[in-house]
Amino acid sequence: MDPRILLILISMVSYTSLDKIYYFVNQSKNLDDAQQYCRENYIDLASTDDLAAMDELFAQENYTYSESAWIGLKKINLKWWHWAISDREFYKAGEADYRNWAPLQEIDIVDNEDCGIMDSSGQFFDDSCVTLRHFICYDGKDQSYVFINMAKTWRDAQRYCRQYHTELVSVRNKNENLQIQKLIPAGDKVFIGLFRDAYMWSDNSKSSFRNWHPNQPDGSGDCVMQLLKEHNLWDDDQCSNPKPFFCYSIMKKRQIIKMVVKSDQNVNDPGMNMAILEKVKQKLEEMGMPNDTNLEWKQSSEGIFRPLMR
């Protein structure tokens, strides 16, 4: 092989939440046994990020022969606040935690006031989710905010936003806070997409997506089941009840990149190798490779150098 020519083969394997594969397991198990089965054979019980993921959940086959199936959402002892839009790519660093609470409001939270509202000055308050209020939707098609001059409960407002726009609005930063508060009539307080609950996914996913049946959860149990005949909505039930269940795994994406490097110098020289490797790493980071990924050389029997990702 000409020492001035170097063929580089780079193999990249990526894993993303968009690559989830769902499996329906038609075996009746309690929640703990279902979780153990999923972890032994796949990754975990199913977690979902949005309505599109729900479509994927039901894309495999017809489940009408069963009434319900476990998913990986379970009640815990601590409530915390979320934004209704659960797509992690929607938020830059720190934006999912943005809160503009009114003075003392963050520590003066009433137990049954689990939904967030914004007043015309842009400050946040907690409120009962069954109060009738105007609300603001986010429309992802044109990235706009829409004030809805109809009084609804928080849950009904969310259904309206999902049907006609995208979701109840998330407020990610001060600039958006200013834009959204301008839509609120003086003296009014409106629902935004802020809510709190005491549920966590078994795979520790941070997804805030919820798809409850009306009037659910009603305290029937600590575990969440997917209703298979009720428009794909959720209900709570006792974790000890045997049910079929959904698991998920992650699809691996492999990408091969070929590069030919020509130089007047000997590209097999260790110093030259390091310079080339650094340039390759820079290019891969521009393409989305994590910057903490390590590359190293491996030479095949054919004399081809392959940077290995660690």
* pLDDT tens-digit readout, 71-126: 999 999 999 999 999 998 899 999 999 999 999 876 666 678 999 999 999 999 99
- The pLDDT of residue 141 is 94
Q: How many domains does the chain have?
A: 2
Same domain, residue pair 97 and 190 = yes
CA angle centred on 58, ends 53 and 64, rounded to 5°: 150
* Best CA proximity match to 50, nearest among 83, 99, 14: 83
Q: Which of 201, 226, 242 is the last residue of a domain?
A: 201
Tokens 């003296």 appear where?
Answer: 187
In a domain, 242, yes or no: no
- The pLDDT of residue 54 is 83
269 is written with which tokens?
């020289």
Torsion angle defined by CA atoms of residues 247, 250, 251 and 253, in that order, rounded to the nearest 10 degrees: 180
Residue 293 domain boundaries: 5-13+256-309
Q: Which of 201, 219, 237 is the last residue of a domain?
A: 201
Same domain, residue pair 189 and 279 = no
In a domain, 59, yes or no: no
Segments of the chain with pLDDT less than 50: 1, 13-17, 302, 304-310
Same domain, residue pair 261 and 195 = no
Query: What pairs with residue 266 in β-bridges?
Result: none
* Best CA proximity match to 251, nearest among 16, 11, 10, 12: 16
- The pLDDT of residue 270 is 72
30 is written with which tokens?
């309690």
In a domain, 36, yes or no: no
In a domain, 42, yes or no: no
- The pLDDT of residue 14 is 45
Please, what sign has the CA dihedral across residues 26, 29, 34, 40? negative
Helix (H, G, I), strand (E, B) or coil at 175: helix
Q: What residue type is assigned to position 309 of the chain?
A: M
21 is written with which tokens?
């594969």
Same domain, residue pair 157 and 94 = yes
What are the DSSP calls for 224-236, one per residue?
EEEESSSTT-EEE
Q: What residue type is assigned to position 71 of the chain?
A: I
pTM to 2 decimals? 0.74
In a domain, 160, yes or no: yes
Examine residue 217 and say whether the peptide bond preceding it is cis (omega within 30 degrees of 0): yes
